A and B are shown apart, each in its own frame.
Chain A
Amino acid sequence: QKEVEQDPGPLSVPEGAIVSLNCTYSNSAFQYFMWYRQYSRKGPELLMYTYSSGNKEDGRFTAQVDKSSKYISLFIRDSQPSDSATYLCAMRASNTGKLIFGQGTTLQVKP
């Protein structure tokens, strides 16, 4: 079993929809939780990170962490065609710099 599980999709939604992306994990030592966006043949771009449990909002993006369930989510409001990309969750423990990534979910937002 992988330490971080993420449904690869693809996920297809109409423009303006609310998108929910999720990851589960098994390592209770994880303290930092990140979401990256990756366009085809480009490097991952950091969207936001959360420390421990709770919510964090940045514009149209909201990240949630539920450590009791070992479950994290990224919500995208008012999705746009430019949001079409692969979304990667990543997480790490506090005593290491090593990030563990999920497989990535491919999102397509149709005009």
Chain B
Amino acid sequence: DTGVSQNPRHKITKRGQNVTFRCDPISEHNRLYWYRQTLGQGPEFLTYFQNEAQLEKSRLLSDRFSAERPKGSFSTLEIQRTEQGDSAMYLCASSPGGDPEAFFGQGTRLTVV
């Protein structure tokens, strides 16, 4: 499968715990994006990378959220001290260069209890 891969697919965690999600983009796509989607809403932009450089971050990305793409390939999104309001689907997408066509993975569904 050559699509965007996200792991894990589901994560249940207790409030206050840290969680980390991984995204593997489509090979040779140098742009990688993170979005968050809650029930009944469209995806909300969190951040994006071009290669290893983080080019833009939403103010939604509070101090508890951090994203990395150290070698310009896979990316991780970490949420520290999770809160119930963090429960959502976290989506990763990738695109080749500046092309507008962003291809999404299947998402990681986070439930904070």
Q: Give me the interface of A with B, judged by CB distance under 8 Å.
A: 4, 6, 8, 32, 34, 36, 41-46, 49, 51, 88, 90, 92, 96-104
The 9 listed contacts between A and B (C-beta, < 8 Å) are A43-B91, A43-B104, A44-B91, A90-B42, A90-B43, A97-B33, A99-B102, A104-B40, A104-B41
Q: How far is the CA of A45 from the CA of B31 in the complex (A)?
A: 17
Per-residue contact bits, chain B 28-61, to A (CB 8 Å; 1 contact, 0 not): 0001010100001111110010100001101000
- Say yes or no: B45 contacts A100, CB within 8 Å: yes
B106 interface contact, C-beta 8 A: yes
Q: Which residue of B lies closest to A104 (CB)?
A: B42
Q: Which of B71-113 contact A (CB under 8 A)?
A: 91, 95, 98, 100-107, 109
A-side contacts of B48, CB under 8 Å: 97-98
- Say yes or no: B50 contacts A103, CB within 8 Å: no
Give the distance to chain A from B76, nearest Cβ to Cβ, in Å.
18
- Say yes or no: A42 contacts B95, CB within 8 Å: no
Give the distance to chain B from A22, nearest Cβ to Cβ, in Å.
14
A-side contacts of B50, CB under 8 Å: 97
Q: How far is the CA of A32 from the CA of B101 in the complex (A)?
A: 9
Give the distance to chain B from A106, nearest Cβ to Cβ, in Å.
9
- Say yes or no: B45 contacts A98, CB within 8 Å: yes
- Say yes or no: B105 contacts A101, CB within 8 Å: no
- Say yes or no: B43 contacts A88, CB within 8 Å: yes
A-side contacts of B104, CB under 8 Å: 36, 43-46
Q: How far is the CA of A99 from the CA of B40 in the complex (A)?
A: 18
B-side contacts of A36, CB under 8 Å: 104
